[in-house]
């Protein structure tokens, strides 16, 4: 089972790299603009996706000017020079949609990190983001002997998406500075 899990997970990482390259680059450019300027890069995740935020703000390899959107129960005062990265699963999470809408109304550039799902034109998290990185992992990876599938590591895929943003932003900053 572990070999199947690893093979499947690597396949999803490759899918993110190949299919989301342009979105990652565009998102990283927006993040780099905030870092080079007077803005900050705020992170917020819903449920298990807070792992991405902890890695981005407290991990060993963080982006400059990275902060939690909420600290001590208080929400940061966002401005148009800031960027907000929202990690959500699934992408139609109503709180994520509301947060993205609110941030956009304040002129903040919103970057979404979630699984993309088609909702037949309904409002979705993706439509509320200026940039969106699809983590592509929307179903369990490993078949069991009983025929069911288990292991849906969306956090691992989202962390891969974060590191793609981190590395690409670092490249842009290294070229600029």
pLDDT over 90 (residue 170): yes
Contact between 53 and 41 under an 8 Å Cβ cutoff? The reply is no
Return the structure tokens found at 4: 């199947």
Contact between 63 and 168 under an 8 Å Cβ cutoff? The reply is no
CA distance to 17, 100, 150, per residue, from 124 (Å): 23, 10, 26
Rounded CA gap, 120 and 30, in Å? 29
Rounded CA gap, 56 and 58, in Å? 6
pLDDT at position 123 is 58
**pLDDT digit string, tens, across residues 36-79:** 999 999 999 999 999 999 999 999 999 999 999 999 999 999 99
Rounded CA gap, 82 and 124, in Å? 22
Beta bridge partners of 89: none
Quote the pTM value.
0.94
**pLDDT digit string, tens, across residues 124-144:** 899 999 999 999 998 899 999
Rounded CA gap, 2 and 137, in Å? 17
**pLDDT digit string, tens, across residues 79-126:** 999 999 999 987 678 999 999 999 999 999 999 999 987 555 555 899
Beta bridge partners of 74: 71
pLDDT over 80 (residue 151): yes
């Amino acid at each position: 089972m572990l070999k199947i899990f690893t093979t499947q997970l690597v396949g999803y990482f490759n899918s993110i790299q190949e299919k989301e390259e342009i979105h990652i680059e565009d998102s990283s450019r927006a993040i780099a603009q905030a870092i080079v300027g007077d803005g900050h890069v705020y992170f917020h995740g819903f449920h298990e996706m807070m792992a991405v935020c902890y890695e981005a703000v407290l991990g060993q390899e963080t982006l400059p000017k990275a902060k939690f959107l909420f600290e001590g129960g208080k929400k940061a005062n966002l401005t148009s020079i800031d960027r907000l990265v929202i990690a959500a699963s699934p992408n139609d999470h109503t709180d994520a949609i509301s947060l993205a809408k609110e941030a956009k109304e304040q002129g903040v550039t919103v970057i979404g990190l979630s699984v993309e799902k088609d909702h037949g034109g309904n409002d979705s998290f993706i439509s509320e983001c200026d940039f969106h990185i699809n983590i592509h992992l929307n179903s369990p990876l490993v078949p069991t002997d009983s025929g069911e599938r288990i292991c849906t590591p969306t956090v691992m895929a989202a962390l891969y998406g974060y590191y793609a943003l981190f590395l690409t932003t670092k490249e842009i900053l290294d070229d600029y500075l």
